[in-house]
């Protein structure tokens, strides 16, 4: 990750209602939004930003672009992301949800080959409180500080941020990985980023049922992360044969096969505890565990 307040940001799908609204919010927050892209809508201005038909045209106008936030329709999202990669943009936030899984597989293959960071799909993006907003994060819940937050559930991340803020624990960065079954960047990748981030002193990891990478994540924390890490797993008391998440994630998970013990919240909690990672039983307990971990 290479994001600063000076990073140049593009908004793809800026003439879409959601893209237009959040482009204005990002710009008002101080994000250096330089242009927008909407096929067939080039030549106009929106929120004092030039709109182009092609990503390449926007990059030529801006000189270079560091990150793009994509709001286009699900079946156009793959083409939009591939266009951004071909233009040399190294960081992509996919706000769009409901993207066909095979499209995401194709995108991630290309991203891996080109060393592109993909966040999402179905992500509320990234916020560096007081400095930078990429996506749809609700900034009023955040305050500048030194606690990094990595989460799969967008709405829950606001509750966590508010709980930390009310406890006087500001945040260095908050990243929503996305709630679809197949997503780009992982907990492991962002732990690697925050483990070396000089502005982050502690990390809060918020997971939910579904998926099965918690053993690798927990092992990495135990072996390679010197900073305090606190975990919270949503759905801890959900019955074993049930899943939580948004509608598309639940449907996709059910179509892929039965719920296994390895994807339950209980299994994830056990994996984190085995690695001696403190696990909160409820969001309100997180600030207490963070403070306790920082004192060690």
The full set of domains in the chain, from first to last, is: 9-119 (3.40.50.720), 138-295 (3.40.50.261)
pLDDT digits (tens, 9 = 90+) for 255-286: 545 544 445 778 888 889 889 999 999 999 99
CA gap 241, 267 in Å, rounded = 13
**In whole angstroms, what separates CA 61 from the centre of its chain?**
28
Strand arrangement of the beta sheet that strand 49-52 belongs to = 45-46, 49-52, 33-37, 9-12, 67-70, 91-94, 117-119
- Read off φ and ψ for residue 123, nearest 5 degrees: -110, 145
Within the chain, residue ranges assigned H as helices are: 17-29, 55-62, 77-86, 101-114, 154-166, 187-195, 214-224, 247-255, 265-274, 286-295
**Residue 268: its pLDDT value, please?**
85
**Residue 256: its pLDDT value, please?**
47
Where residue 17 falls among pLDDT bands split at 50, 70, 90? very high
Where residue 250 falls among pLDDT bands split at 50, 70, 90? low
Angle CA 221–125–192, to nearest 5: 20
Angle CA 129–134–138, to nearest 5: 60
Instruction: Give the chain's radius of gyration (CA, Å).
Output: 19
pLDDT digits (tens, 9 = 90+) for 179-194: 888 899 999 999 999 9
Long-range Cβ contact pairs of 47-53 (< 8 A, separation 24 or more): 47/20, 47/23, 49/11, 49/14, 49/23, 51/14, 51/15
pTM tops 0.85: yes
Q: Is the peptide bond before 248 cis (omega within 30 degrees of 0)?
A: no
CA gap 270, 272 in Å, rounded = 6
pLDDT at 243 over 60: no
Kindly state the percentage of the chain with pLDDT values over 90. 76
Euclidean distance between the first and the last CA atom of the chain, given in angstroms as a whole number: 29
pLDDT digits (tens, 9 = 90+) for 75-117: 999 999 999 999 999 999 999 999 999 999 999 999 999 999 9
Assess contact for 150 and 126: CB atoms under 8 A: no
**Residue 259: its pLDDT value, please?**
47
Burial class for 34, CB neighbours closer than 10 Å (0-12, 13-18, 19+)? buried
Give the chain's mean pLDDT.
90
Assess contact for 253 and 183: CB atoms under 8 A: no
**Residues 20, 25, 28, 34: is their CA dihedral positive or negative?**
negative
């Amino acid at each position: 990750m290479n994001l600063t307040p000076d990073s140049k940001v593009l908004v793809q799908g800026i003439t879409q209602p959601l893209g237009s609204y959040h482009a204005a919010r990002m710009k008002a927050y101080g994000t250096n939004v330089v242009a927008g892209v909407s096929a067939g809508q080039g030549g106009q201005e929106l929120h004092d930003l030039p709109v182009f038909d092609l990503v390449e045209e926007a990059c030529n106008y801006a000189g270079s672009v560091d990150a793009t936030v994509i709001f286009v329709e699900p079946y156009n999202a793959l083409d939009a992301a591939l266009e951004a990669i071909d233009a040399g943009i190294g960081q992509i936030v996919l706000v769009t949800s409901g993207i066909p899984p095979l499209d995401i597989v194709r995108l991630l293959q290309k991203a891996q080959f080109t060393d592109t960071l993909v966040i999402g799909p179905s992500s509320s993006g990234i916020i560096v409180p007081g400095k930078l907003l990429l996506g749809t994060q609700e900034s009023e819940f955040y305050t500048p500080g030194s606690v990094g937050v990595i989460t799969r559930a967008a709405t829950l991340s606001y509750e966590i941020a508010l709980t930390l803020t009310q406890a006087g624990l500001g945040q260095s960065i908050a990243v929503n990985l996305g709630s679809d079954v197949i997503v780009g960047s992982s907990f492991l990748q962002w732990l690697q980023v925050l483990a070396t981030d000089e502005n982050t002193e502690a990390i809060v990891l918020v997971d939910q049922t579904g998926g099965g990478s918690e053993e690798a994540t927990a092992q990495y924390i135990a072996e390679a992360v010197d900073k305090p890490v606190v975990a919270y797993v949503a759905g801890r008391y959900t019955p074993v044969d049930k899943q939580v998440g948004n509608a598309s994630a639940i449907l996709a998970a059910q179509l892929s096969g039965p719920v296994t013990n390895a994807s339950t919240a209980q299994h994830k909690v056990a994996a984190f505890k085995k690695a001696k990672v403190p696990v909160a039983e409820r969001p309100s307990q997180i600030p207490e565990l963070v403070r306790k971990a920082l004192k060690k």
